[in-house]
Structure formats: C-alpha cells, structure tokens
Structure 1
Amino acid sequence: MKLVSYRLKNTNESLRVGIVIDENVINLQDAYRAVNPDVDRTRIEGIIPADPTSFYKLGSPAIEVAKELHRQLKNNDQYALHYLSLEDVYLGTPIPEPSKIICVGRNYIEHAQEMKSDIPEIPVLFAKFANALIGPNDDIEKTPLTEKLDYEVELTVVIGKEASKVKKEDALNYIAGYTIGNDISARDLQKRTPQWLQGKSVDKSTPIGPWIVTADEIEDPGKLDVRCYVNGELRQSSNTDKFIFDVPYLIEFISNIMTLNPGDIIMTGTPEGVAFGMEDPKFLQPGDVVTLEIEKIGTMKNRITEGLV
C-alpha cells in the first residue's frame, strides 16, 4: 500500500493522509467513514488522524487500519468516495515534522572510498531537522552559501512503533514502511568543520517521497536497486545488498543508543557516484533535474533552483 501526504493543487489547505489506488488518491478519513458509517465522528481522529505527522506518530495501529481500508476499497466500487487523480494533487513530504531524522554516513564501501574516507567499523550517524524536508516534486533550493551542492539517493525507513534496545532479528517488525530520500549535501559547508550538520540540514534541501510503501510490500529492504540521474545522466547505480550495515543492524544499533518513536525517519546512506567523488566534480546547479529511483518504491524528481541571498 502507498500512503501519501497531499492537498489539492493551488490551495493552501493543510496536508492530509491519503491512500493511492490505481493512480488516484483517496482521503483516509473519508474512506474510514465510508467503510464504518456507524462510528462516532468524534472518535475518528483518534483512530485515523487527518494530519500526516499525527497519523504516523500513532504508528502501527493506524497503519493497520489503513491497510484494511485499502484491502476493502481496492477493486470495490460499492462505496461512494471522491477519488482524486494524482495529477490533481500536491504531494507533500510524507511526515512533515518527524521527531527524529537519523542519517547514516558512508554505508557503502565504494562511497567511503570515493570520499577518501576509512571504511567505518561502526555506523556513522548524524542528524537532519524538519526545516530541511520538502515534498517529492518540490524545488531544491541551492543556498548562495554553497558552490558544491551534491545529490545522494537513499533508502529511507519509517519507524512504526517504539523501538528501544531492539534485536536485529526483530528489527523489521518495527518498520512502518519505506520511501526515497535525497540527502542533499552542501559539501563545502559539510567539510569545513569536523561535524557535518551545517552541510546537511540547509532549509528546503531534502526531498522525501513520493509516498511511503508499507513494510508488507517489501519483504527484504536489503535487496533493492537504487539509482540517481542528473539531467537524465546516470550518476549512481547500486543495490542495498551492498550496505555495510543493513537495515536490521541499523535499527538495533540506533535503538540501543536512543529510543526510536513512531514516525521517526532513518536515511540509510548513499552509494558511490556522488559529484564530490568525481575527478572533475559535477555539482548541482540551478536548472538541473535530479531523478531518484528505488525498486518497489518508485521515482522522485526535483529541480534545483537558486535560493535567496
């Protein structure tokens, strides 16, 4: 099942949670009311919140309700519901305000080598913040502070229930779903100090989307093709089977340091092929279009624009 955060195009409405069926979006609360007409309306917000961040913070119980609605609505026209074409809606970042965005650096051997870094023996963690997040079709703003804007395609994990001191054997049970992330990096800002944060959390720089594919749709997150194109030129092509630290290990490692909450995001690292690793680096410029693809999830495309001084 694909879950989106959306609103009608050219409006200032709040984002709402929807499910995708046959290239159409159905409002999740409307679907719940249609299938459960006798439920008191005052209770619905506690079962299926309209706000995306609130929805994912409820975690697995809300996801399971959504999956059951999807099952009942698919190939079933008995419910009088308003279907919106994907072409008619704006898709926002799936979780606008996650409590944590944990990123993993140098999680592919070839990427560590192209960055002229040691192969890590333990996961390299850093953080982003919600100010950086944008939707899957939004423009990426190139701040005037950087001349070395770089792309990074990454499998992105969404946590579905509270995870503390999880064993890797159980880790996949804590995942709500998967999406695509572009860990856009201002390399000159990133590299000017030992800490990476300033180059990794620039305003309106990190698209995530286009939707969250629920965990039941992806049996093994360690066997997914990942690709990045810039203006149609293939720059990155790999598979998550080349992770140094796979998704279960990352959840075990992180959850032994900090409790992961429903709606938290883990960006799992990027493969080789980034601009910084080239002999003649091709950093992103205004007008460039970056297209990311991850098997079983989909495609995300964003244009680079000039940010304000």
Structure 2
Amino acid sequence: MKLATLRDGSRDGKLVVVRRDGQVHADAGAIAPNLQAALDDWERVAPALEALAAKLESGEIAGSPLDPAMLESPLPRAYEWVDGSAFLNHVILVRKARGAEPPATLTTDPLVYQGGSSRFLAPRDPIPLADESWGLDFESEVAVVLGDVPQGVKAEDAGRYVRLLLLANDVTLRNLIPNELAKGFGFFQSKPATAFSPFAITPDELGDAWKDGRVHLPLHTNYNGALAGDPDAAEMHFSFFQLLEHVAKTRSYTAGTILGSGTVSNADRARGISCLAERRMIETIEQGKPITPFMKIGDTVEIEMRDAEGRNLFGTIAQKVVAL
C-alpha cells in the first residue's frame, strides 16, 4: 500500500491512497483524515486503507490524477524524528572530514541524534539557504514510520512496530557542525528542516527487498542533473530493528515517530555518494584537499528508489536551493 498527503490548507494535510504506478490517488478521508490519525488507530484503519488501495489498483474506482507538486511530506510534522547513522562508511569518512576519529564503539553501539520535527519540507519544496558559507549538504536516507513502541523492545520483536517506509533528504549545514559539537551538546542549528519522499509505503510493497530490517535496493541521488550515487541500502551495519532496540532502551515512542537510517553509503566508491561531505573527504584522501563545493543557490537534488522492475517506489524528492 502506498500512502500520501495532499495539501489542503491544514497543518496535517489530507490522507490519500496512491496507485502503485504513482499516477492516480483516491481520497481516504472517510477512513482517516490524515496519516497521523491513521497511525493512531492503525489496527482498525489499515485494513480499510488496504481495501481502498485494492479497489484503486483493480480499477474498481477510477481515482484522480496525482499532481506531485500538491503533496506534502507524508507526515508534514511528527511527534519525533530520530535519525541514526547506520552506514559505517559514512561515519568514518565524515568523521575524517572534521578531524575526528570514529568512536571506539563504532561497530557495536549505534550513533543517533534527535532532529526537529515540528515542520518538514514537502518533497518538492525548495531548500531555503540564508548563507552559502554555512556549507549546505543533502543527505539521502531511508526511514521507517513507527507505531506505538514500548520501552525495552528487542531487535527480534521490532518488526511488528514498523508501519511504513519512506525516503529522506536530511539537510545539513556542514560548516556549522564543528562549533556546535565543540560545545558537547549536539546538533541544532546545523540541522534545518528535513524533506521526505512523496509516498510512504507498507513493508510488503518491497517484497523480498525488505528483510532483516533493511531495504535491499539501491538509493539513487542526482545532483544538478547528474548521478551522484546509487549505493545499496542493504549495506546498513545496524538494521532498523537494531536501531529501534537501541533508541527504545530508555523510553517508549508514540505512533508516528520517524526513525532514519542515516546517509546511505557503500565502501565501494564506484557506487558514488549520498552526500557531498563524502565526496569532499574522498577528494581530500586522493588529492590532498576537497574540490567539490557545498550546495549553492540554484543547485538541485533528486532522490528516489526503484525496484527490480524499475518502479519508483517512493516517488521523487526533487528540491532546488533558493535564497532565504
């Protein structure tokens, strides 16, 4: 099942079901007014949404043409946005970029931060930038939307709490990070609003590509019209199930919490990059200094994931940098 949120003038938008080809949608307002409401009552609501999706797919109902420009992120705001850094190649490269060693617990203890979630960017919203010297970067990620999660859940039981999957552009202001982290209190100004993919999908939509709490498909990022990278999301060291066990150690989570994978990254450099910081670090290693600048006004980024048949599973995050 593929779900989306139409702009309707409200904070949380209007929930719609989308045909698998992403071209047509059906109003789901009679079932749940918005995605958060659906997640709050998932056991009752999900079967009705599935039935509506089946009717749309079979042609029993015609639906309406879908205009991607009218879509919000599936959750325009969320109770929590918790982002991991589960791809170790990314951790190693980005730590080197700012002169820091990877933590001693790199392979055993996940890195996690809590992002702002009061307002997300829509998948086609521009990225506002007040100062190019701040070092704007995109970060292409996979994420899951959770149901109600009890404290202390274990990885082997975590799958039951994953409701939906989606993609993210976890925008970062790289040049603001060092001074923030030097305070010993984490990211804040360096992490502006994140954008999410047009569609959130149920795990069954991925078929065999969803296993062991990982998505076994490449994540494509185009930067200024050229392929920047297509790393395989399966190279996730900590699975979503392991990340969920980690973050639930000391607290529970409410339905609608989003949990991110961190920037998708592969050790094989031929697979390219999902953020400019990695490219700059590779340039430093190979050429002695970074060559690629961070994003400028007018730059564009597109993020999407296709299955083995070429279907665009989540729709495309397509953003342009604009002056604030």
* 3-state SS in 2 of match to 1:241: coil
CA distance in 2, matches of 1:102, 1:179: 14
Structure 2 equivalent of residue 62 of structure 1: 45
Q: Out of 297, 313, 316, which is 1:286 matched to?
A: 297
Shift of 1:97: 2.3
1:132 Cα deviation after fit = 4.8
**1:104 maps to what in 2?**
84
For 1:252, the aligned partner's letter is E
| Cα distance between partner residues in 2 of 1:215 and 1:172 | 10
> 2: distance between equivalents of 1:292 and 1:134?
14
Residue among 9, 14, 17 paired with 1:16: 14
Q: Are residues 178 and 145 of structure 1, via their aligned partners in 2, closer, same or farther at CA, if it must alter by over 3 Å?
A: same
TM-superposed deviation, 1:122? 0.9
Per-residue CA deviation, residues 11-70 of structure 1 (Å, 9 max, x unaligned), is: x4661000012511111035xxxxxxxxxxxxxxxxx32133322233343233211221
Residue 230 of structure 2 aligns to a residue whose secondary structure is strand
| Distance in 2 separating the partners of 1:200 and 1:171 | 30
The question of whether the paired residues in 1 share the 8 Å contact of 2:154 and 2:245 is answered with: yes
Q: How does 1:242-261 map to 2 (within 5 A)?
A: 242-261=235-254
The 2-side partners of 1:198 and 1:188 are apart by 13
State which of 208, 211, 218 in structure 1 corresponds to 2:199.
211
Identity %: 21
**In the alignment, what sits opposite 1:42?**
none
Q: Say whether residues 1:226 and 2:214 are aligned partners.
A: no
1:300 counterpart residue number: 317
Partner of residue 74 from structure 1, selected from 43, 51, 57: 57
Distance 2:155 2:68 in 1: 41
Instruction: Determine if the alignment matches structure 1 residue 262 to structure 2 residue 236.
Output: no
C-alpha contact (below 8 Å) 1:166/1:252 kept by paired residues? yes
* Structure 1 counterpart of 2:53, one-letter code: H
Residue by residue over 1:84-126, the C-alpha shift from the partner in whole angstroms, topping out at 9 and shown as x without a partner, is 2112760001112211100113x22221222114162311111
1:153 shift after superposition: 0.4
Partners in 1 of 2:264 and 2:180 — Cα distance? 23
CA RMSD across the alignment = 2.2
Aligned residues: 281
Q: Paired residue for 1:188, among 175, 179, 183? A: 175
What residue identity is the alignment partner of 1:290? V
- Distance in 1 (CA, whole Å) between partners of 2:56 and 2:222 is 35
In the aligned structure 2, how far is the partner of 1:59 from the partner of 1:282?
A: 44
Structure 1, gaps ≥5 residues long: 31-47
CA separation of 1:88/1:176 partners in 2, compared to 1, >3 Å: closer, same or farther?
Answer: closer
Q: CA deviation at 1:200?
A: 4.4
Q: Distance in 2 between matches of 1:55 and 1:249?
A: 26
1:193-204 paired onto structure 2 within 5 Å? 193-194=180-181, 195-202=185-192
Matching residue of 1:143: 130
More strand by share: 1
Post-superposition offset of 1:293: 1.8
Give, as a single letter, the amino acid of the residue that structure 2 aligns with 1:285: K
Equivalent residue number for residue 44 of structure 1: none
2:93 maps to amino acid: E
* Kept after mapping to 1: 8 A contact 2:82/2:115: yes
Give secondary structure in 2 for the equivalent of 1:112. helix
